[in-house]
Amino acid sequence: MASGERTREAPRQTGEGPAPDGPERVAVTGEAADVIRRLTDQHGPLMFHQSGGCCDGSSPMCYERGELRTGDSDVLLGELGVEGVAEPVPFWMSAGQYAYWSHTHLTVDVVPGRGSGFSLEAPEGVRFLIRSRLLEESD
């Protein structure tokens, strides 16, 4: 993971203020950061949402910021700070999915292949995916 491409916010529901003293919940690999930079250049500020479910619902979806409306059933895990991208990239997850993943640290990565046609990286010939590990006391 490239330095400076991490977040330090704890999860929060829509409308709540940030909780910066919590553990880091989500980060991004250097390869994924490269794709985020390209997509930001093409589309402007971005956001991620992971809803769970079938099809590509278990993969994080990348949208132009505000293209997907979040609500009370969504949790903001944190904001990805990507070097070369002016604004942090918020990473949202459905509250139901968060119930299953609340004990994990997530890392946004990218692999070759096509994901969902709704996610901005689809035309790039890559797809975002999540790598996870259990949170540790040191997190």
Q: 11-27: per-residue pLDDT in tens?
A: 544 433 333 457 889 99
Q: Would the pTM of this model clear 0.85, i.e. be above it?
A: no
Coil/strand/helix, residue 97: helix
Q: Distance between the two ends of the chain, CA-based, in angstroms?
A: 16
Q: Are 79 and 90 in contact (CB under 8 A)?
A: yes
Strand order in the sheet with 74-80: 12-13, 74-80, 89-94, 46-50, 61-64
| Residue pLDDT, tens place only, 33-69 | 999 999 999 999 999 999 876 555 568 999 999 999 9
Alpha carbon of 125 to those of 82, 119, 122: distances in Å? 21, 11, 6
